[in-house]
């Protein structure tokens, strides 16, 4: 299962292709659009989200509401493009040079400076257009298709926010709470606990007041996974490593945690491992806890998968930091472009998409199939084998 995205933040559209989903997977475009809607929510998003109502056009690979096995191409149009047609034209016209919106004062933390030097532009415009997290719209659309494939096997992927700045959620959360949260029609900060969410909102309010930005931590969980996705046998088949790459590839994510990694690094082994128990009647092999986050040796162990992304604050600040103008080389305040103040809930939705894509890949590696029917037969046979273990 392979996917690619293309598109600039203020270009005509975002594009994605997804190749390798079996034929016969039921696809709902409304569900794709619902995921896109979820990505746009949250207290702290910037003015751009008022312009856009992201909707996916599935232009290939899906017919009569199901996949046909061929590559799926998705287009998401940027409404803001109408304000940028002369700034970012495909072909230069006579007055193109004057219409440009050059960014010559790179923002610390953004790709602006390193990208401009690397690609040899004296203006970071083309760099930021692609580095922008707007690209994640395309990933979420692809993730929504991966989710619909996984749902055929009862697997669900959801997220919630556990920290914004210093405000933390201080209790455990069960799966049903995440389901309820995902169905809310209004998203504040994506936290299941209203008291913790109020504290999180106070931090975002402070960032608004002071012209600053704030990061945090989101947690993605996958529920109902079979035992045995991923493998211990080589470094690149270990599912934990693949999930870590997927999460770290999200804009502004600087750290990733699987299960209770931070806690595990500070306590003795006897407090960390999930003890093994057996009950013949129902639960068969089961565990005393889930500190490993559903992965042992890079293999899913049947518990919920728990992956967290640690997000740094967005690098575009209304109260800009020190920088240098790339053309004059003089000290200058970093550029300010309209931006978000806090994006942790949206990053959680993007994290869900990335986790769903990696899990769908692992599913297809294990169960294969040109058609959903074939995938399912292989899956059912394996589940029977696990039951008899």
Alpha-carbon torsion 71, 248, 228, 353, what sign? negative
Could you say which residues in the range 128-157 bind ligand EPS, by CB under 6 A? 128, 132-134, 137
- Asked if 38 interacts with ligand EPS (CB under 6 A), we say no
Query: Residues, the chain, total?
Result: 389
* Token pair of 216 as six digits: 């945090």
Give the one residue of 48, 147, 238, 287 binding ligand EPS; rule: CB under 6 A. 48
287 is in an annotated binding site: no
Figure out which of the listed residues 314, 334, 358, 372 binds ligand EPS, where binding follows CB under 6 A. Answer: 314
Dihedrals phi, psi of 383, to nearest 5 degrees:
-60, -40
Residue 292: φ, ψ to 5°: -75, -10
In order, the DSSP letters of 333-380 are EPP--S--S--HHHHHHHHHHHHHHHHHHHHHHHH--SBHHHHHHHHH
Taking the least distance from each CB to ligand EPS, the nearer of 10 and 291 is 10
Choice between 137 and 182, CB closer to ligand EPS? 137
| Contact window for ligand EPS (CB under 6 A) among 91-99, 232-240, 305-313, 338-346 | 338-346
Q: Does 338 bind ligand EPS (CB under 6 A)?
A: yes
> Segment near ligand EPS (CB under 6 A), from 58-66, 67-75, 162-170, 334-342?
334-342
- Tell me the CA distances in angstroms from 355 to 143, 163, 184, 306, 307, one per residue in order: 8, 20, 21, 10, 8
- The torsion angle over the Cα atoms of residues 236, 241, 243 and 248, rounded to 10 degrees, is -120
Binding track, positions 217-256, relative to ligand EPS; x by CB under 6 A:
----------------------------------------
Question: Which among 311, 36, 300, 4 has a CA at the least distance from the CA of 147?
Answer: 36
CB of 107 to ligand EPS, least distance (A): 8
Point out the annotated binding site for FMN.
130-132, 251-252, 297, 312-316, 338
List of residues contacting ligand EPS (CB under 6 A): 9, 46, 48, 80, 110, 128, 132-134, 137, 314, 316, 337-340
């Amino acid at each position: 299962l392979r996917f690619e995205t293309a598109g600039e933040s203020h270009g005509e559209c975002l594009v994605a292709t997804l190749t390798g989903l079996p034929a016969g997977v039921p696809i709902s475009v409304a569900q794709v659009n619902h995921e896109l809607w979820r990505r746009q929510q949250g207290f702290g998003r910037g003015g751009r989200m008022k312009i856009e109502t992201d909707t996916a056009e599935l232009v290939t690979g899906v017919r009569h509401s199901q996949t046909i096995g061929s590559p799926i191409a998705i287009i998401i149009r940027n409404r803001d493009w109408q304000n940028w047609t002369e700034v970012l034209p495909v072909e230069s016209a006579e007055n193109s040079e004057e219409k440009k919106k050059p960014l010559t004062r790179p923002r610390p933390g953004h790709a602006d400076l390193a990208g401009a030097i690397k690609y040899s532009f004296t203006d970071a415009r083309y760099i930021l257009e692609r580095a922008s997290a707007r690209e994640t719209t395309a990933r979420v659309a692809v993730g929504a298709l991966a989710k619909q494939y996984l749902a055929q096997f009862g697997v669900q992927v959801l997220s919630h926010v556990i920290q914004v700045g210093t405000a933390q959620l201080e209790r455990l959360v069960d799966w049903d709470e995440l389901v309820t949260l995902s169905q809310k029609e209004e998203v504040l900060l994506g936290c299941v606990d209203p008291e913790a969410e109020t504290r999180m909102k106070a931090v975002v309010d402070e960032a608004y007041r002071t012209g600053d930005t704030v990061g945090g931590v989101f947690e993605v969980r996958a529920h109902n996974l079979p035992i045995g996705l991923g493998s211990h046998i080589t470094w690149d088949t270990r599912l934990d490593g693949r999930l870590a790459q997927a999460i770290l590839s999200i804009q502004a994510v600087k750290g990733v945690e699987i299960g209770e990694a931070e806690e595990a690094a500070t306590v003795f082994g006897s407090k960390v491992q999930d003890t093994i128990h057996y009950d013949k009647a129902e639960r068969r092999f089961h565990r005393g806890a889930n500190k490993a986050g559903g992965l042992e040796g890079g293999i899913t162990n049947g518990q919920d998968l728990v992956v967290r992304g640690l997000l740094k604050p967005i690098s575009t600040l209304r109260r800009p930091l020190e920088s240098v103008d790339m053309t004059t080389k003089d000290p200058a305040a970093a550029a300010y472009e309209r931006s978000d103040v806090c994006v942790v809930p949206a990053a959680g939705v993007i994290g869900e998409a990335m986790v769903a894509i990696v899990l769908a890949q692992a599913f297809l590696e294990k169960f294969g199939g040109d058609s959903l029917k074939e995938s399912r037969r292989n899956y059912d046979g394996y589940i029977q084998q696990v039951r008899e273990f």
